[in-house]
Structure 1
Amino acid sequence: MADVTRLVEQARAGGPRAVARLISLVEGASPQLREVMAALAPLAGGAYVVGLTGSPGVGKSTSTSALVSAYRRRGKRVGVLAVDPSSPFSGGALLGDRVRMSEHASDPGVYIRSMATRGHLGGLSWAAPQAIRVLDAAGCDVVLVETVGVGQSEVDIASEADTTVVLLAPGMGDGIQAAKAGILEIGDVYVVNKADRDGADATARELNHMLGLGEARKPGDWRPPIVKTVAARGEGTDEVVEALEKHRAWMEENGVLAERRAARVAHEIERIAVTALRSRIGDLRGGRDVGALAARVLDGSLDPYTAADELVAGLTAGA
């Protein structure tokens, strides 16, 4: 059994092994997970969480690495949570993102962790919220969360980040995708990466046009800026950081940051509760409750909604 108190103290002191161990306890759904979260609760809340998402090939990992460099120049301690696809063999992360960010591996002010999706849809790992809390409590000023890159359905990051950055690149069909619902509706800052390629200006113009279609913003509302970058050369990255800081200042001034964080925690609590209920339902399947209800639905003596109500009543009885 891990000494959670000592691990938390070491993590606060900047110990990368302690941070790694705490995140491993989170990922593995350790029996000590509740103890870990209780120890971290009073220490978290200071980090600015930035999510980066976009289609595969737009340069998310390169852009994340460039942002790390930009924040380090400002003296910020940075945590990176890079959510990779799961290996079909081991279930672990494929670690592509850590390979691309290897230039920061020796920097004590940077912590990079790859996490596997393990079948979780929406571009994030199920353990991402708790892992973010670990990096937050460990003293990171900024936590960058890079999603898997699965396309338009990858919108979970909007509910986990303070600010969401959507990356696009010219020549990848993003102009057409901009007209569709999904990933391009969640951005607070839009970045057209690989801006040295032909079509970058046209992509930015079309994106600006699409963002203006049907928008119902009131005076004073945030209008997402569009920043052009060449992340591989670090060009435009400082402008992205400036846009992020402006968005953060706007959120703080208008109370939006507090609202987003409250909604994020509420969503996390609901997810933990639903997971616990699903576990209890799974336990019931080994008994007679669900089977008996299913038999009554099959013979027409009960409808599925009433059966579900009875199941929920049984789960919550005496709670």
Structure 2
Amino acid sequence: MRRVAVVSTGVIGASWAAHFLAHGLDVVATDPAPDAEERLRAEVATHWPVLERGGLADGASPQRLSFTADPAEAVADADFVQENGPEREDVKHALFAVIDAAARPEVVLASSSSGLLPSTIARGALEHPERVLVGHPFNPPHLIPLVEVVPGEKTAEESVETAMAFYAAVGKRPIRVRREVPGHIANRLQAALWQEAYSLVERGVATVADIDTAISQGPGLRWAVLGPFLNQHLSGGPGGIAHILEHLGPPTEKWWRDLRSVTLTPELVATLVAGVDDELDGVDSAELVTRRDAVLNALLAAKTGAGL
């Protein structure tokens, strides 16, 4: 594959475009916003230095980016389509009706949707729903390797295999989601953590900054290397995860029973926002993103060097 269409170029779409360009692909982008092309090129330029430090493919260049306001024109000659429109069924259906009619029949139409089911999205693709699936990245896609590939009820196995192979070829770590569920896998795991984090703030157990520190300076460091199951296994010594489940399973079940559901009331939202504002007092957000991305780049290089 040499040409990718990036449909809608907000934060996720722009990051995808930069990633594909860094891997030596031609990218044709489309977005209806009047200033979309200018914003996109500025975002790609912002991402390019960290991509250069991570290593570019032969021929990689921002000059291989083209733009059109017409989504049908954008996908007409594409070998793969990555859609990134708003998380609304009506918008997805209207968009997929256009790109399904315009793209070559064998071309996969992948949505970056973070929560919508691919079977729902595919209702807009009246001609070829079998080539519609979710290819959900993690933000920022130009750095984070994970892509969740989620087939829908009508998705052909060939489309799944094509998407898995394509993402792997451009440096991603795709996983196949075996059943459709709202939010897929990683977002559901995040949502579980957020629920308890918000609850702990609401109950006065910890501040926003305390919780960020608890994760970023604690389990988050291990999670960045290995997943929850392997970390549990290594924590169990010679007995591994079997030992952990036998000895820490019962108290863990008690903790589960004490976890609280939470409602995002206006008061709680205000508390969370104020907590983040306090945590970022005197910190330049743009500079924080730059430092975060530099650490992510170094971490990914270290993981690759260690065979992880």
TM range (shorter): 0.3 to 0.5
Higher relative contact order (CA 8 A, sep 6+): 1
Larger proportion of helix: 2
TM value normalised by structure 2: 0.34
